[in-house]
Amino acid sequence: MIEPISGFSKLQKQEKISWLAQTYLKDSPEASNILEQYWNPKKELQQLHEEFTENTISNYYLPFGIAPNFLINEKRYAIPMAIEESSVIAAASKAAKFWGENGGFQAKVINTQKIGQVHFMFEGNPEKLQRFFDQVKSTLLSSVSHLTKNMEKRGGGVLDIELKDKSAALENYFQLHCTFETKDSMGANFINTCLEKFAETLKSEAEKYTEFTPEEKDLEIVMSILSNYVPECIVRAEVSCPVENLDSPEMSGIAFAEKFVQAVKIAEIEKYRAVTHNKGIMNGIDAVVLATGNDFRAIEAGIHAYASKDGNYTSLTHASVENGIFRFWMEIPLALGTVGGLTSLHPLSKVALEILQKPSAQDLMKIVAVAGLAQNYAAVKSLITTGIQQGHMKMHLMNILNQMNASGEEKAALAAHFKTNTVTHRAVEEALQNLRNS
């Protein structure tokens, strides 16, 4: 039985690694060396990375790539992506090239409201609580004026506070449902700070409210926190073209369009397909969110909740063919920032935003949505034509060869060989062995 360690956070980085090596890595010098190899040689940069989180012992690298040739609202972009999965950037780039020659992507932000809630328990008359809330609402808003001053100068702030009675679902449960506009900031810290002040003010005002009984005055604040479900912070991305523009070696344009629509409709009604369908969308979205220093976990949670908003998990994208025009579109919630947080701290995130021509938060919403739509278009196209594995496995070839410790010459020879042969792990293994034997 391994004994717990006390004071781990106070150890120096090298001491943490030594303890891990002795306790969990069987004193493996290889593991320790790998951890140290990923330290940044520039001490200032390494320290910056270590201060992003706690108990840092190394850095975990992901490839930082570029998908060029995106035409969005008549403006050209090269989109940075941080992702390790083979074929994602290649597929997005291919989709961008095609749609760049067919009218480009259209994107617009429909709304940008974000949500935060104060959750509390109240044992008393709901009608009396509503009268109390109506009376103190202005006091709640004024209590955060010192916090919202700078945000209001940028056109943001607290938009509204509502009292919601949730006691039918959970006894005595109520909430302050608050809407915010945070402009170019994602706004999590701003929202949470305001919510905690609302909670403090709600509690203190309840204690002074003369209509409340002693039990009612003692309302219990459970928690105050923003929500990553933002169904009122919506962006729409869309492409369209005449069906004849979709002609390919595999099938005619009309046949392609009709089969594409059928594939999307399957994802709309079949949960098992919808999850994988939407995962492909998130390949594009997460890669850009991560590259720009935004919170991909919050984005994932909010988008998947939105896919279930009508009670069934369904496709985020939709497609149609009408009057000879193929349309493919998506509406998703995206709460993103271009100032504050990691976007202003991580050097690569700052470079990513420079590459994107210093977008506003709304511009970044459009870019991220387009990246997801492009990735989904490329994935569905592969599925209904050549199959997903042909392109994916060719991109995966280098990963397989690296696992087999292939040399540079061997990689070049086998890359040429598999231009005309199907890539499987077994086929690569055999081809590499044949090459070495010869």
pLDDT along the chain (438 residues), means of 10: 93 94 87 92 92 94 96 98 94 97 98 97 97 98 96 95 98 98 92 98 97 95 97 97 91 96 98 98 98 96 97 98 98 94 89 97 98 97 80 67 83 80 80 82
pLDDT score of 395: 61
DSSP β-bridge partners for residue 114: 180
Burial of residue 22 (number of CB atoms within 10 Å: 0-12, 13-18, 19+): exposed
> Is 85 annotated in the active site?
yes
Out of 295, 366, 394, 396, which one is annotated catalytic? 295
Residue 173 and residue 332: Cα distance in Å, rounded? 30
What's the confidence (pLDDT) of residue 98?
A: 97
Token output for 405: 């410790």
pLDDT of residue 392: 55
Give the chain's length. 438
pLDDT score recorded for residue 425: 76
Catalytic option among 16, 49, 366, 392:
392
Q: What is the pLDDT of residue 308?
A: 98
Predicted pLDDT at 389: 58
The DSSP output letter for 70 is: E
The whole-angstrom separation of Cα 58 and Cα 56 is: 6
CB 337 within 8 A of CB 361: yes
Residue 3: active-site member:
no
Annotation marks residue 146 as catalytic: no
Tokens representing 134 are 């109506």
Res 71: pLDDT: 98
What whole-number distance in Å separates Cα of residue 433 and Cα of residue 249? 35
Task: Please report the domains of the chain, with CATH numbers, ordered by start residue.
Answer: 8-50 (no CATH), 73-109+235-386 (3.90.770.10), 114-226 (3.30.70.420), 392-437 (no CATH)
Cβ(432)–Cβ(400) below 8 Å: no
Q: What are the C-alpha distances in Å from 334 to residues 5, 170, 204, 226, 299?
A: 41, 29, 35, 14, 6
250 contacts 256 by C-beta, under 8 angstroms: yes
Active-site hit among 108, 177, 279, 417:
279
Looking at residue 387, what is its pLDDT?
A: 72
Q: What is the DSSP letter of 339?
A: B
The encoded tokens of residue 266 equal 């399957």
Report the distance separating Cα 85 and Cα 26, nearest Å: 31
**pLDDT at position 393:** 60
Nearest to 172 by CA among 218, 133, 134, 203: 218
Q: Return the structure tokens found at 216.
A: 């009612």
- pLDDT of res. 343: 84
Rg (CA), the chain: 27
Q: Which amino acid is at 1?
A: M
Quote the Cα angle for 67-72-76, to 5°: 60
* Residues 363/292, Cβ–Cβ less than 8 Å: no
- Separation in Å, CA 81 to CA 293, 334, 408: 11, 17, 26
Of the listed 50, 85, 200, 258, which one is catalytic? Answer: 85
